[in-house]
Amino acid sequence: MMFQNQLVKSLEDMNFTRDDLSSGCVSGIATIRDEVLDETMMTVVELSADIRAKIFATFLQFLYTGKDAATSVVQ
């Protein structure tokens, strides 16, 4: 159990900057940027063409549920 708790803690402490996300540091994400559409600010996340199916499914789960699948798997 100690190992699982340490893994969850390390995942929770991970932070990525926008530069990290746009530089290819994060697997599956090509870039992230802000755009204005009809006077509404939106954040656009562009996925890489070579994103792995598991990462894509986890990303979709997060978008639809708000649940962080990476930390819930090890709990």
Give the SS3 label for residue 50. Answer: coil
The pLDDT value given to residue 7: 44
10, two tokens:
């390390």
The pLDDT value given to residue 12: 59
List, for residues 61-74, the tens digit of each pLDDT value: 888 887 766 555 44
Q: Identify whether the C-beta of residue 41 lies closer than 8 Å to the C-beta of residue 24.
A: no
- pTM for this prediction: 0.56
Give the SS3 label for residue 37. Answer: strand
Residues in the chain predicted with pLDDT less than 50, given as ranges, are: 1-9, 73-75
The pLDDT value given to residue 4: 46
